[in-house]
Every structure is written in structure tokens, then in C-alpha cells.
Chains A and B, each alone.
Chain A
Amino acid sequence: GAVVSQHPSRVICKSGTSVKIECRSLDFQATTMFWYRQFPKQSLMLMATSNEGSKATYEQGVEKDKFLINHASLTLSTLTVTSAHPEDSSFYICSARGTRARAASYEQYFGPGTRLTVT
């Protein structure tokens, strides 16, 4: 149980275009989803916290107009990188935290990640 999927796993796009990444909890309801970015040889950096039905909370330094997050249902959150630039190339990972009945309070289940390359 507690499986999280991401789509696509890998995407290459041209500078200036937008890319949407989906994060789905497959067998549990995710009240909260988190979006991380990871640059090579660095740790996970939290970008934003997304709660179903409400606006995402962005970390300091993350542009909310550039990284649009939508958490429309208890099983799906999307991250859209708008007007992508080469410096946005990174590994984007989502995680989901379930309701207390299904998962330990602070346990997060990670998706497999999406490798974004902007040319």
C-alpha cells in the first residue's frame, strides 16, 4: 500500500514552454502533497506544500507564478512549470501524506520523480 505515481518520468521541453507534472496517490487519500526539487548531488529542497481544495504554500524563494500547483482531488496534485528555462532543469519529486487512518502522521510516500530537461 501507499503507492505514489508521477507522470511523466522524464520530459524534455524547449525554453519558454510550459510543462505539467502529475502526482497521484494510487491506493490512499492524500490530504497533503509536497513538491520537491533536487539538483545533482544535492538534497531534496521543498518547493511547496499542497492541501486538497486550498491554495499551495510556497517556500521562500519559490515563485508561485512560475510553479503552479493544483491539488484538485485527494489523489491528484499537479505542478506546472511555466515558461521553463534551462535553469529549471532538475529532478522534481512529489510526496504524499495520507490521512491519519492510513499512514503514520509524519510518514511521506514519495513518487518516483520526474526528470525535467529544458533545452
Chain B
Amino acid sequence: EDKVVQSPLSLVVHEGDTVTLNCSYEVTNFRSLLWYKQEKKAPTFLFMLTSSGIEKKSGRLSSILDKKELFSILNITATQTGDSAIYLCAVPSQGGSEKLVFGKGTKLTVNP
């Protein structure tokens, strides 16, 4: 069964800190890994990773994939209170529907 495990489940930091969120996965026929940010409503897309070692970057957020060790990390530098959210990692499951299997998420709280 395809599985995604995120750690830590919860993280509290101060503004300006740098955080690293982890996502490990087990999936048959890996194709990609996706990161989402969920605030009070539905998730918003951050990154899609398909190749090992290539960093994707968007402002203070960056992410990288290691297909050999089956994990990905999401880094946020110089955190702001607006970064407070649940960060979800997902992989497409096997089969034709291409449904996503989500991890439980990391709840990040950035305090002023």
C-alpha cells in the first residue's frame, strides 16, 4: 500500500527562524511528489518534484527530492507569521486514476 509519512507533525518557531519539513514515501512506480500549503481552507499547490537533487525554489521556500532514499524536504527560510499553516506532502498512487496519497501534514506555527 502506498504511504506518505511526514515529520514533525507539529513545529513552533519564532519569526526569522529557518525550518525543514520532512516527507518520506513508499510508492509503487514513483512518478512525482507534491507539496501543498493548507491554511484555513483547502490546500494550495507549492511544488511538484520529479527528479532527484534538483532544488525547486519559490521565494523563501525551497524543496528537494531524494529518490534513492525516498524522501523530500521543504525548507522555509526567514519564516514569517504568514507561513503558519499545515504543510502537506503527497504522491500519486498507482493505477490509472492518479489519485494522491497524502501524509498527515506538518502543522507549522510561526510566532512573532
Residues of A within 8 A of B (CB): 6, 32, 34, 42-44, 46, 49, 57, 93, 95, 97, 104-113
**Which of these, B32, B48, B97, B102, contacts A43 with CB under 8 Å?**
B102
B42 near A49: Cβ-Cβ < 8 Å: no
State which of B31, B36, B41, B105 has its C-beta within 8 Å of the C-beta of A106. B31
Task: Report whether A46 and B99 are in contact in the complex, using a CB–CB cutoff of 8 Å.
Answer: yes
Contact assessment for A44 and B43 in the assembled complex, using a CB-CB cutoff below 8 Å: yes
Per CB-CB distance, the 8 closest pairs between chain A and chain B, nearest first, are A110-B42, A113-B42, A49-B97, A43-B104, A106-B92, A112-B41, A93-B42, A44-B102
CB pair B100 A43 closer than 8 Å = no
Residue count of chain B within 8 Å CB distance of chain A: 21
Contact assessment for B43 and A104 in the assembled complex, using a CB-CB cutoff below 8 Å: no
Contact check, B45 vs A49: say whether CB atoms are below 8 A apart: no
- Decide if B97 touches A111 in the complex (CB within 8 Å): no
**Contact, CB under 8 Å: A106 / B34:** yes
Residues of A within 8 A of B42 (CB): 6, 93, 95, 110-113
- Kindly state the separation between the CA atoms of A113 and B99 in the bound complex, as whole angstroms: 18
* Docked-complex contact A34 and B102, CB < 8 angstroms: no
Q: How far is the CA of A73 from the CA of B33 in the complex (A)?
A: 29
CB-CB under 8 A from A42, the residues of chain B are 104
Chain B residues within 8 Å of A113, by CB: 41-42
- Given A43-B105, A44-B88, does the pair A110, B44 have CB atoms closer than 8 Å? yes
User: In the complex, what distance in Å separates the CA atom of A49 from the CA atom of B95?
Assistant: 12
Please give, as numbers and ranges, the residues of chain B lying within 8 Å of A93 by CB-CB distance: 42-43
B98 and A32 contact, CB distance less than 8 A = yes
Instruction: Compute how far the CA of A109 lies from the CA of B98 in the bound complex, rounded to whole angstroms.
Output: 13
Contact B45 A97 (CB under 8 A): no
- Minimum Cβ distance to chain B for residue A106 (Å): 5
* Bound Cα distance from A98 to B99, whole angstroms: 13
Q: Choose from B32, B34, B99, B105 the contact partner of A49 (Cβ within 8 Å).
A: B99
